[in-house]
Amino acid sequence: MKGNFTFCNPTRLHFGTDAMSALAKELANFGPTVMLSYGGGSIKRNGIYDQVAAALAAAGKTVVEDGGVMPNPTVEKLREGAAKAKACNADLILAVGGGSTIDYAKAVSVSAWCDEDPWEKYFIRFEEPSCRIVPVGAILTMAGTGSEMNGGSVISNHAAGLKIGKVFGPDVFPKFSILNPEFTFTVPRRHMVAGIFDVMSHILEQYFSGDDDSTSDYIAEGLMRSLVASSRAAVANAQDYEARSNIMWTATWALNTLIAMGKPTDWEVHMLGQAVGAITDATHGMTLSAVSLPYYRHIMPYGLKKFARFAENVWGVASAGRSPEAVAADGLAAFEAWMREIGVAMSISELGATEEMLPKIADATFILTGGYKTLTRDDVLSILRKSL
């Protein structure tokens, strides 16, 4: 561990089939008005809404309804939610849903009492909140983003052709999160596997960077092995509780800052994927899967040692007497086979991207410097072209 760091994660997590029983005690920590934020209606169809509404009623809360948070939440929805949270003087924003709803709730929490335009302040200038922050609590219904235990908030601005993530500090992390793996049983298969790939991508973004023998990398390898095994079981049987619970817990640990400690991180796959998402509004995890192999094959020569380690430690590729190039290539081939097996998107064309869109997607791609190779615009275009 070469880096210096402070680790603090203030989110209290309640996990398992009984997790909802903790909601009453959590609600008692906040004032009377709760803004209840949720997505397009899945929680009404699967009964989660009724459970939450009953707990809020039993706690005597005044509930302000805030449904309709779309996947890839927009800046327009953020502005609307911020005005609503301010008007009702919300004491808590209770986000019930996946990453989109929780990300949105965090953005609203720092925007309700902010005098400036939140898009400009947080997502363009990347400033920290300087206003009152409305606390957020989360009830997670889909595993993937890690938003339940981190400060991330990703907002789309379609007019500007941008999708940007801001990472807020511990004050904006959910105060509590409720994770019942059974709540994920009704997630459509396409979203389940997109979430699984998102988890894998989060781990890889933090793994493929740096050159030391760090504890963070060993933890990352364990998380990846668990994810691969559980993803196969969940694809075979979506009601497999152990598999779904392992995926949910792995998702949380993949992006709650732990495995980034003491080492550099990359995040270029997310920059490419978010740019694809900004232009196509495609499902986040699928935008990542569609660009990952061309990206990793492009940077592999610059991080060969780590790619060979990935092959051996995650995929069980034999290395004795073989060149690191051959071992590393086999690792990416095993990764590709797993992607095809679980059924994620393998190209951006499947997501609606066309050759003509590539310059615009390249313009929306932020270039970061933490990975094994800092991309040029030509590299970005070449990777996007190979992703078509």
Which is nearer to ligand NZQ, 238 or 333 (by Cβ)?
238
Binding region for Zn ion (CB under 5 A): 198
Min dist. Cβ of residue 228 to ligand NZQ (A): 19
Binding region for ligand NZQ (CB under 6 A): 39-43, 46, 71-72, 97-101, 103, 141-142, 144-147, 150, 152-154, 165, 183-184, 186-187, 191, 195, 198, 255, 270, 284-285
Residues 6+ apart with CB under 8 A from 317: 311, 327, 330, 331, 334
Min dist. Cβ of residue 293 to Zn ion (A): 16
- Cα separation, 205 vs 370, in Å, equals 9
Which is nearer to ligand NZQ, 285 or 331 (by Cβ)?
285
Min dist. Cβ of residue 324 to ligand NZQ (A): 30
Min dist. Cβ of residue 342 to Zn ion (A): 16
Which is nearer to ligand NZQ, 1 or 63 (by Cβ)?
63
Rg of the chain on CA atoms, in Å:
20
Min dist. Cβ of residue 94 to ligand NZQ (A): 14
Q: Which of the choices Zn ion, ligand NZQ, none does residue 89 contact, using the CB cut-off of 5 to 8 A by kind?
A: none
Q: Which of the choices Zn ion, ligand NZQ, none does residue 331 contact, using the CB cut-off of 5 to 8 A by kind?
A: none
Which is nearer to Zn ion, 148 or 198 (by Cβ)?
198
Which is nearer to ligand NZQ, 46 or 215 (by Cβ)?
46
Which is nearer to ligand NZQ, 143 or 308 (by Cβ)?
143
Min dist. Cβ of residue 152 to ligand NZQ (A): 2
Which is nearer to Zn ion, 61 or 202 (by Cβ)?
202
Which is nearer to ligand NZQ, 137 or 311 (by Cβ)?
137
Min dist. Cβ of residue 264 to ligand NZQ (A): 18
Q: Which of the choices ligand NZQ, Zn ion, none does residue 42 contact, using the CB cut-off of 5 to 8 A by kind?
A: ligand NZQ
Q: Which of the choices ligand NZQ, Zn ion, none does residue 183 contact, using the CB cut-off of 5 to 8 A by kind?
A: ligand NZQ
Min dist. Cβ of residue 3 to ligand NZQ (A): 21
Q: Which of the choices Zn ion, ligand NZQ, none does residue 71 contact, using the CB cut-off of 5 to 8 A by kind?
A: ligand NZQ
Distances (CA, A) of 59 to 31, 53, 55, 56: 10, 10, 6, 5
